[in-house]
């Protein structure tokens, strides 16, 4: 796959992932746990191109998610941007061809995304700006931990695609 073509396909991929996540993901849920498809697209893009484009795509993907989900506008963007920042930290020093790098980025990215999102919802609720309530620790245990495993499994399925895209030659 051509590096440049994928770079320009990221935004349409984010739109498709956002639509699919908001409409069809409940049909592929396992015990009520849905995959975070936009997060996976952002993480793959960040592993391929680094944290700067990854943060941009995270912002766009978050806006798409917030438009389709009805959640507080900007909360998904901020959470995805933090996950992209964490996933992109080792872009130049760690090889994405190592199995543990994409899996670690996926596990840590999912945890950062979910923790940030839950914290934003809790903060909005504490200032009476929104009426969203999710018990933090219970949600981490019963939703986020299984979602981390689900997303990591999907990342394993994406690894052959990820490894087909050549490394960039610029330093």
Q: What is the pLDDT of residues 64-86, one digit of tens each?
A: 999 998 888 999 999 999 999 99
Q: How confident is the model at residue 164 (pLDDT cuts 50, 70, 90)?
A: confident
- Cβ distance 126 to 9 under 8 Å? no
- The four Cα atoms 101, 25, 77, 110 give a dihedral, to 10 degrees, of -30
Give pLDDT, residue 111. 97
Tokens 């793959």, located at residue: 44
The answer to whether residue 79 sits within a structural domain is: yes
Q: What is the pTM of this model?
A: 0.89
The answer to whether residue 170 sits within a structural domain is: no
Give pLDDT, residue 162. 77
Q: What is the pLDDT of residues 137-159, one digit of tens each?
A: 898 899 999 999 999 999 999 88
pLDDT: which is higher, 17 or 94: 17
Q: What is the pLDDT of residues 28-62, one digit of tens each?
A: 888 888 999 999 999 999 988 888 999 999 999 99
Query: Is the confidence at residue 171, as pLDDT, over 50?
Result: no
The answer to whether residue 85 sits within a structural domain is: yes
Per the structure, the count of domains in the chain is 1
Q: How confident is the model at residue 133 (pLDDT cuts 50, 70, 90)?
A: confident
Give pLDDT, residue 2. 59
The answer to whether residue 169 sits within a structural domain is: no
Q: Which CATH number do you get for residue 23? A: 1.10.1760.20
Residue ranges in the chain assigned as alpha helix (H): 3-23, 37-49, 51-69, 75-87, 100-126, 136-139, 145-164
The answer to whether residue 119 sits within a structural domain is: yes
Query: What value does the mean pLDDT take over residues 78-96?
Result: 83
Give pLDDT, residue 81. 97
The answer to whether residue 171 sits within a structural domain is: no
């Amino acid at each position: 796959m051509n590096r440049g073509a994928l770079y320009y396909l990221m935004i349409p991929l984010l739109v498709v992932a956002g639509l699919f996540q908001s409409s069809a993901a409940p049909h592929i849920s396992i015990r009520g746990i849905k995959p975070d498809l936009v997060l996976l697209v952002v993480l793959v893009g960040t592993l391929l191109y680094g944290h700067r484009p990854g943060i941009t795509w995270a912002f766009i993907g978050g806006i798409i998610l917030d438009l389709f989900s009805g959640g507080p506008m900007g909360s998904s963007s901020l959470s995805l941007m933090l996950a992209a920042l964490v996933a992109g930290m080792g872009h130049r020093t760690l090889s994405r061809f190592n199995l543990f790098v994409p899996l670690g980025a996926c596990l840590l990215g999912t945890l950062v995304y979910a923790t940030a999102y839950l914290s934003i919802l809790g903060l909005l609720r504490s200032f009476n700006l929104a009426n969203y309530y999710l018990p933090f620790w219970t949600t981490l245990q019963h939703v986020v931990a299984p979602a981390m495993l689900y997303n990591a499994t999907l990342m394993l399925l994406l690894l052959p695609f990820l490894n087909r895209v050549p490394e960039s030659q610029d330093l």
